[in-house]
Structure 1
Amino acid sequence: MLIEDGFPGQRLRVLPARRVAQALTQPGIAHLVVTDAGYFPTAQAHGKIRPEGIEQCVVLVCVLGAGRVRVAGAVHEVRRGQVVVLPPGVPHAYEANDRDPWTLWWVHVLGRDLAEFLRSSGMTAEQPVRQLRDVYRPVSLIEEIVGAMERGDTDASLLAASGAAWHLMAQLCAEQVAGANALPVIDAARDYIVAHPAEPVTVGRLAAMARMSPSHFASQFRRRVGTSPIKFQTQVRMGRARELLDTTGRSVESIATEVGYGDAFYFSRVFRAVHDETPTSYRASRRA
Structure 2
Amino acid sequence: MPARDGLRQQRLYAVPRRQVTAALSAPVTRRLVVTDAGHSPAPAPFEASRPAASRQTVVAICAAGSGWADIGGRHHRIGAGAALVVPAGTPHAYGGSPSSPWTVWWCHLRGSDVPELVEALGPPVVPVRHLDRAVALADEIVGRLARDDEGPARLVGVAGTAWKLLTQLIADRGSAPSPAEGPLERAMDYLASRLDGTVRVPELAALVGVSPSHLTTLFRRATGGGVHAYQTTLRMERARLLLTTTEATVSEIARDVGYADPFHFSRQFRQLHAMSPTDYRRSANC
- TM (norm. structure 2) is 0.58
* Equivalent residue, structure 2, for 1:169: 166
Shift of 1:8: 1.4
Structure-2 change in CA distance of 1:38 and 1:87 (3 Å): same
Other-structure match for 2:280: none
SS at match of 2:55: coil
The superposition leaves residues 169-227 of structure 1 with CA deviations (integer Å, 9 ceiling, x where unpaired) of 1111112233xxx5x7xx78xxxxxxxxxxxxxxxxxxxxxxxxxxxxxxxxxxxxxxx
Larger Rg: 1
Offset at 1:43?
3.4
For the residues of structure 2 that align with 1:160 and 1:177, how far apart are their CA atoms?
Answer: 27
In the alignment, the residues of structure 2 paired with residue 100 and residue 82 of structure 1 have an alpha-carbon distance, to the nearest angstrom, of 15
Q: What's the offset of the Cα at 1:44?
A: 4.2
Q: Distance in 2 between matches of 1:77 and 1:149?
A: 29
Instruction: Point out where structure 2 has 5 or more consecutive residues left out of the alignment.
Output: 180-286
Which residue matches 1:154? 151
Task: Give runs of aligned pairs for residues 95-134 of structure 1, distance below 5 A.
Answer: 95-123=95-123, 128-134=124-130
Q: CA deviation at 1:16?
A: 1.1
Secondary structure of 2:174's match?
A: helix
1:35 aligns with 2:35: yes
* Structure 2 residue 61 is the aligned partner of structure 1 residue 61: yes
**Residue 7 of structure 1, CA deviation:** 2.2
Alignment correspondent of 1:92: 92
Q: Please give the alpha-carbon distance, in whole angstroms, between the structure 2 residues aligned to 1:115 and 1:52.
A: 19
Quick check: 2:10–2:44 contact (8 Å CA) kept in 1? no
Matched, 1:145 2:145: no
Distance 1:19 1:6, change over 3 A: same
When residues 44 and 99 of structure 1 are mapped into structure 2, their CA distance, relative to the original with a 3 A threshold, is farther
- Paired position in structure 2 for 1:15: 15
* Displacement after TM superposition at 1:111 (Å): 0.5
Indicate yes or no: 2:85 matched with 1:82: no
What does residue range 246-285 of structure 1 map to in structure 2 within 5 Å?
Answer: none
Is the 1:44–1:98 contact (alpha carbons within 8 Å) kept by the matching residues of 2? Answer: no
SS at match of 1:159: helix
Report the equivalent of 1:216: none
- Aligned to 1:93, the other structure's residue is in SS state strand
Change (3 A) 1:72 1:12: same
> What amino acid does structure 2 have at the position aligned with 1:9?
Q
Matches within 5 A, 1:205-220: none
- Once residues 128 and 118 of structure 2 are traced to their aligned partners in structure 1, the CA distance between those partners, rounded to angstroms, is 16
Q: What does residue 208 of structure 2 align with?
A: none
Structure 1: unaligned runs, 5 residues or longer: 189-288
Asked if the contact 2:129–2:173 (Cα under 8 Å) also holds between the matched residues in 1, the reply is no
* 2:130 partner letter: D
User: Residues 20 and 92 (structure 1 numbering): CA distance in 2 closer, same or farther, change over 3 Å?
Assistant: same
Instruction: Confirm or deny: 8 A CA contact 1:54 1:88 kept in the other structure.
Output: yes
Letter in 2 for 1:85: V
4+ runs of 1 displaced by more than 3 Å? 43-46
Distance 1:25 1:45 in 2: 34
> Shift of the alpha carbon at 1:122?
2.5
